Amino acid sequence: MSAPTTFNDATSIHDRPLAAAGVVVFSMFVLGGLDNAVAVIARDTGLWQFHFLRACLAVSIMLGMARVGWINITPNRRWAVALRGGMTGLSILVYFGSLAFLTLAQAAAGLFTAPIWVMLLSAVFLRQRVGPMRILAAAIGFVGVLLVLRPFEGGLNTLALFPIIAGFFYACGAIATRQYCTGETAMAMLFYFFLSLGLFGFVGASAMSLWSHDIPIGADGFILRGFGPMGHLSMGLTVLQAVGSIFAVGLIFRGYQMGDAAQVAIYEYSLLVFAAGWSYLMFSQTVDLMMAIGMGFIILSGIVISLRSRRVS
């Protein structure tokens, strides 16, 4: 039996595309179930407290793993990893917050606008050339997002735009990773991601606790709750979220070590399929034809942008 695999290596160690695909697809399957569970947590817990507790658990686990030498969480450039963690943390904060009023499939669709944002931000601020194929792909992806989120159905629904904002911050984190975090270990970046989420959660929960306001019952009060008691089910699911997130994200990082990054990124779009599947199994939520077409457009857009970006980089 070989020695246990660790996540200390920041470079690619293998060229195993099929194994990379399997690992990433399985991690998306796990994340689809975990993220759907947030809709249950939202019934009696606040967004901010959830992120604070989940981050505390995840940070504690990672500190223990680092202590015994399983992972390396010490960054080379602390400011760069903190910047990347903050941007990605903001993205996930908005993403989970949108689950209080959107299905996971809709929230994930907005989050997967990140490749479009990366392309646009890179063109504007990094002066990278964008060819007609990627512009067309971005337009197709944008149409797909409109079909899934339907922000103009029954008038302008600004809440439907939140997942797109999550995609923007996720793109900022991706650009920070590419520009400033070369050579950093995956676990160091994950550690600072959870630190950022914990800080955001603590500040938000404290503000909501000090602010005197009415809090709707059930999931409608998810964003407005501060610190407070949690039900046994919500606490258990929060613990599961912390442990499962480290496991699933660790698998994603391993997948990127096994295969070409541009190709591996394509498999992350399987989350859209698993999100819809888990939503149906857990809450009987269905995806209509227009949403399915929109998700297909988003997947196609992401594939084209990822492959074309690799070609011009």
217 in a structural domain: yes
In a domain, 11, yes or no: no
Q: Is residue 3 part of a domain?
A: no
The structure's pTM equals 0.87
Q: What is the pLDDT of residue 11?
A: 43
The answer to the question of residue 2 being in a domain is no
pLDDT at residue 151 in the model:
85
Q: How much is the pLDDT for 1?
A: 41
Is 12 within a domain?
no
| Domain assignment present for 227 | yes
pLDDT at 310: 61
Model pLDDT, residue 263? 76
Q: Return the pLDDT at 14.
A: 53
Identify the domain containing residue 76 by its residue range: 17-312
In this predicted structure, what is the pLDDT of residue 255? 83
pLDDT at 10: 45
pLDDT for position 294: 93
Q: Is residue 26 a part of any domain in this protein?
A: yes
Instruction: Report the number of distinct structural domains present in the chain.
Output: 1
Query: Is 22 a domain residue?
Result: yes
Could you write out the DSSP letters of every residue in the chain? -PPPP-S---S-----HHHHHHHHHHHHHHHHHHHHTHHHHTTTS-HHHHHHHHHHHHHHHHHHHHHTTS-----SSHHHHHHHHHHHHHHHHHHHHGGGTS-HHHHHHHHTTHHHHHHHHHHHHS-----HHHHHHHHHHHHHHHHHH-TTTTS--GGGGHHHHHHHHHHHHHHHHHHH-TT--HHHHHHHHHHHHHHHHHHHHHHHHHS-----SGGGGTTT--S----HHHHHHHHHHHHHHHHHHHHHHHHHHHS-HHHHHHHTTHHHHHHHHHHHHHH-----HHHHHHHHHHHHHHHHHHHHHHHH-
The one-digit pLDDT tens for each residue of the chain (313 residues) are: 433 333 344 444 457 778 888 999 999 999 999 999 999 999 999 999 999 999 999 999 999 999 999 999 999 999 999 999 999 999 999 999 998 888 888 999 999 898 889 889 988 888 888 888 988 999 999 999 999 998 887 777 788 889 999 999 999 998 998 899 988 888 999 999 999 999 999 999 999 999 989 999 998 899 999 999 999 999 999 999 999 988 998 888 878 778 777 777 788 889 999 999 999 999 998 889 999 999 999 999 988 887 776 655 4
- What pLDDT score does 281 carry? 92
The per-residue pLDDT for 3 is: 33
